[in-house]
Structure 1
């Protein structure tokens, strides 16, 4: 095709999307159309909301992914009347499994955390409602590995204490009710197990029921790894979506496949269009897309939620993406959003819950928002006892001698550039500071005691230059597309001095360290006594 015709077609397709075209127009411009190239990063413009964070709803009938930025992996969604509830793998962060709420699938607000006791690293869960009761089936990496269940009679809790089911060799459960009323957990690897009628114990042995579709052997993937089954009943069919290709590794690896059956007992028929979602090129806006769930929107159309890494930003973890689904005449479905780099029509109907997201700044005038905002990394049972809020001040008792041996207090920041600052006061023998924290082996930041600074880099403590400010200072961290700088102030932020060490943190992510986490912002207190934190301010920066 001549270049001028190619460019004209691209312009027409982009216009169809950005002018709130019907979904048919988006489908024509979506997956499988090689003429619609990814939108360059410089052309993707989000609205700005709380703390200047990016907002997906563009207020013109369209939205721009991600619908929830930052580390929101393995989305588990529940439609409950006109309400939608969503939660994600929370891994080593506690309180964990924060429940998010929406009425339109685009604008989301956090509610409460469902899991408060550390039972291990929480992987992909199943959120369900059955006979008026809410259930969370929770796989954990622990000793031993297991899948737990908790339940509640209200989505905000209180949630029950976790009950282990004794499933030590599987992850990623999906609760489903068969056409005969039987309850099941479908598991990684194409297996399933029957549940008791109350859903709180097993009622049979694990059995293998499905062999997932396999990709060509010359594709660049991390591994076969069939996981994350999600089963939805639509019409006369059960549809199973599965992730294969590995969660991270090569950006082209992770993908979404589907199969269907008229009975929960099989047999399962492979989708003729597999894979339904897969990153094709490094130039795309989103990498390693997979782990999808189907859900009916407020407009009675169907949508898929899945996760993906933002191009060049593995550090932000797997973010939550929304794709429109079209049902086809043969009873199958397909995704229509292409590579998700461009605005897509927003689901119609449903009252938006505004403002979207949550403010990360904190003046510590209210009890600490543990779970909905702040969380501890790999906490002990008494970790929450370290925290006290009084007089617009967060009092955080020291633990360990460095971030590696304590439990930092962390936030999920979902923008590619941002800065955060805080007034920090240490005890006579204590230390405290601000962090960019992946895990206890990989972090960066700046801390101080009353005499010296301490730089944190590569997960170790390095230089110890003199501290001219004494026991109290204001500290600021700027992360601009992985280039990190530090500033300090001894007069409450009236004047700032740039700290004489900068860092580059693009390698602080899963493909280097493992663990499936993200580089979180946060603060820490170490050594004897307690540190006092005042006026924590977060601001997302536009690139």
Structure 2
């Protein structure tokens, strides 16, 4: 016992002093932008991670890493219309809280689809290659959120919460696609609000059941309990929470929780979880992101993550060879026949709304009658905003013939809240328009008459402000408006998503007469300062590699 206590103290001292003496460290979050509810598994020397996508398509991105720090998007588990029913899903509906596991050559992802037409609630999909293709959903037969799986004792255990904050376990036969032992109540939450996100692990002689509590806000945390049987009884850890920043209001990271464990090749354990980066008080607009922390085991066999349960900005790197992926280029020229994996649609896209082949070298959006006001899929191709300081821009050719027709750039918070910079028509003239659509109503608008031809639209951002720029060919750029970023924050909008930014076209009730052709899209992030313009020429433009994960 004395040896185990000494080992525990040495681990704590090592974690604290290694940062102080300058050992190589990594910075959190490890996956930026809206990537909540991370779940992870290891296969040999490879790590795979999945996060929630809610109403966005394709769903459930699969990230690949070899060092736990640097991650590359390699595919989506729900990339087909047939395995991802989203039409009709509300904002923050759709697919959330997936869990990824691997067993005997097959990857499994369990998840819940809420609100999509044709959804039957809880499901799982399988693949032999995590990059895809993944199967169609196997519907499990209930609507409880945050299901998970554990392979142990030659069985597949299904772990499920219910709407009363209790956790149930049963065994499932993936060949027969049915339960062998039905779900039975085995444990309850440990006192916090909204117990959810259970994951179970068999480690040595114990079954550990980790879960999230405290809701999705600033009291979010991960807690753990254990038993010598997967069916209980379970005892709570005396060291709970496993990780949380709820008692550290000065930290730049808050709402830390919803965790999953992974064991490295050297036997050490690590934790991934979600968290937020609020600004200007308690406002966060990038969404919940993915964080990483080491796990230390107490002498009596309980896990504590981070720095004594606190998520820090930096930790010593895992004991793994560094593996940095080639970064995505800043510019997408739309020269491929396929969209990059980073692009998403809103709900299930309509095939006639977009094309990379109708005008080669361009992304063509055929604006339909659908706008953001319907629970449908407008012509909207977007990506996560993955950094506070960023510039997103595009060159577009679009000729409206009526005031209802528009195309350009949009930052979307949810169905009732977005900021747009579009080309449209007013009083018979072609104009660029900045518009705030907030709480379901059109707010401030600014209009600028523009000439025929290509127009460059750009949105720049600092932590606290967006700015909207218009540039005609051969002329200086003009700022058309600004908006606080917090108007699209979760604290204002509610829900579970972060902002998306992308290209859009709509006839707002009737189809556009002409298509909108987008020549390129640039996304520059982690800029040292908000973007500047000098005599119509952008400063420090580099269309090579970006600085994100």
Shorter chain as denominator, the TM-score bin is: 0.7 to 0.9
Deviation of 1:194 (Å): 3.0
Q: Distance in 2 between matches of 1:73 and 1:360?
A: 24
Tell me the equivalent position of 2:457: 475
Deviation of 1:148 (Å): 1.5
**Structure 1 residues 394 and 456 mapped into 2: Cα distance closer, same or farther (>3 Å)?**
same
Tell me the equivalent position of 1:404: 373
Aligned mate of 1:326, from 275, 296, 314:
296
Tell me the equivalent position of 1:175: 149
Q: Distance in 2 between matches of 1:178 and 1:299?
A: 21
**Is 1:307 aligned to residue 274 of structure 2?**
yes
Q: Deviations over 1:448-468 (max 9, x none)?
A: 125233333134445362422
**Is 1:260 aligned to residue 226 of structure 2?**
yes
The answer to whether the Cα contact below 8 Å between 2:365 and 2:379 also exists between their aligned partners in 1 is no
Q: Deviations over 1:327-362 (max 9, x none)?
A: 222111211336434421101224514236x44531
Q: Deviations over 1:279-328 (max 9, x none)?
A: 21322121110011111124432111001011325201111110110122
Aligned mate of 1:437, from 392, 409, 412:
412
**Structure 1 residues 244 and 191 mapped into 2: Cα distance closer, same or farther (>3 Å)?**
same
**Is 1:457 aligned to residue 424 of structure 2?**
no
Q: Which runs of 5+ in 2 are unaligned?
A: 1-9, 87-93, 530-549
Q: Distance in 2 between matches of 1:87 and 1:362?
A: 24
The answer to whether the Cα contact below 8 Å between 1:408 and 1:523 also exists between their aligned partners in 2 is yes
Q: Distance in 2 between matches of 1:512 and 1:438?
A: 10
Tell me the equivalent position of 2:542: none
Tell me the equivalent position of 1:366: 336
Deviation of 1:277 (Å): 1.6
The answer to whether the Cα contact below 8 Å between 2:152 and 2:202 also exists between their aligned partners in 1 is no
Aligned mate of 2:479, from 483, 492, 498:
498
Q: More displaced, 188-197 or 316-325?
A: 188-197
Superposition map of 1:370-385 within 5 A? 372-380=341-349, 382-383=350-351
Tell me the equivalent position of 2:179: 202
The answer to whether the Cα contact below 8 Å between 1:452 and 1:464 also exists between their aligned partners in 2 is no
**Is 1:346 aligned to residue 325 of structure 2?**
no
Superposition TM-score, scaled by structure 2 size: 0.81
**Structure 1 residues 94 and 384 mapped into 2: Cα distance closer, same or farther (>3 Å)?**
farther
**Structure 1 residues 471 and 402 mapped into 2: Cα distance closer, same or farther (>3 Å)?**
farther
Tell me the equivalent position of 2:141: 166
Q: Deviations over 1:251-270 (max 9, x none)?
A: 2x100100112221222111
The answer to whether the Cα contact below 8 Å between 1:422 and 1:536 also exists between their aligned partners in 2 is yes
Deviation of 1:515 (Å): 2.4
Q: Distance in 2 between matches of 1:352 and 1:74?
A: 24
**Structure 1 residues 75 and 24 mapped into 2: Cα distance closer, same or farther (>3 Å)?**
same
Q: Distance in 1 between matches of 2:57 and 2:156?
A: 33
Q: Distance in 2 between matches of 1:506 and 1:26?
A: 39
Deviation of 1:204 (Å): 4.7
Q: Distance in 1 between matches of 2:272 and 2:147?
A: 17
Deviation of 1:368 (Å): 3.7
Secondary structure of the residue that 1:367 maps to in structure 2? coil
**Structure 1 residues 448 and 229 mapped into 2: Cα distance closer, same or farther (>3 Å)?**
same
Q: Distance in 2 between matches of 1:452 and 1:533?
A: 17
The answer to whether the Cα contact below 8 Å between 2:99 and 2:147 also exists between their aligned partners in 1 is yes
Q: Distance in 1 between matches of 2:48 and 2:273?
A: 14
Tell me the equivalent position of 1:46: none
Tell me the equivalent position of 2:534: none
Q: Distance in 1 between matches of 2:11 and 2:74?
A: 31
Superposition TM-score, scaled by structure 1 size: 0.82
Q: Distance in 1 between matches of 2:450 and 2:202?
A: 65
Q: More displaced, 275-284 or 465-474?
A: 465-474
Q: Distance in 1 between matches of 2:276 and 2:176?
A: 34
**Structure 1 residues 509 and 379 mapped into 2: Cα distance closer, same or farther (>3 Å)?**
farther
Q: Distance in 2 between matches of 1:171 and 1:475?
A: 40
Alpha-carbon RMSD across the aligned residues, in angstroms, is 2.5
Deviation of 1:160 (Å): 1.2
The answer to whether the Cα contact below 8 Å between 1:255 and 1:290 also exists between their aligned partners in 2 is yes
**Structure 1 residues 26 and 214 mapped into 2: Cα distance closer, same or farther (>3 Å)?**
farther
Tell me the equivalent position of 1:316: 286
**Structure 1 residues 453 and 195 mapped into 2: Cα distance closer, same or farther (>3 Å)?**
same
Deviation of 1:199 (Å): 7.1
The answer to whether the Cα contact below 8 Å between 1:452 and 1:465 also exists between their aligned partners in 2 is yes
The answer to whether the Cα contact below 8 Å between 2:224 and 2:242 also exists between their aligned partners in 1 is yes
**Structure 1 residues 29 and 496 mapped into 2: Cα distance closer, same or farther (>3 Å)?**
same
The answer to whether the Cα contact below 8 Å between 1:104 and 1:297 also exists between their aligned partners in 2 is no
Deviation of 1:77 (Å): 0.5
How many corresponding residue pairs?
A: 479
Q: Distance in 1 between matches of 2:189 and 2:122?
A: 22
The answer to whether the Cα contact below 8 Å between 2:379 and 2:506 also exists between their aligned partners in 1 is no
Superposition map of 1:182-331 within 5 A? 182-188=156-162, 189=165, 190-198=167-175, 200-215=177-192, 224-248=193-217, 251=218, 253-279=219-245, 280-312=247-279, 314-331=284-301
Q: Distance in 2 between matches of 1:428 and 1:413?
A: 28
The answer to whether the Cα contact below 8 Å between 2:41 and 2:101 also exists between their aligned partners in 1 is yes
Q: Which runs of 5+ in 1 are unaligned?
A: 1-21, 31-35, 40-58, 216-223
Tell me the equivalent position of 2:469: 487
The answer to whether the Cα contact below 8 Å between 1:326 and 1:333 also exists between their aligned partners in 2 is yes
Deviation of 1:436 (Å): 1.3
Q: Report the structure, 1 or 2, having the larger strand content.
A: 2
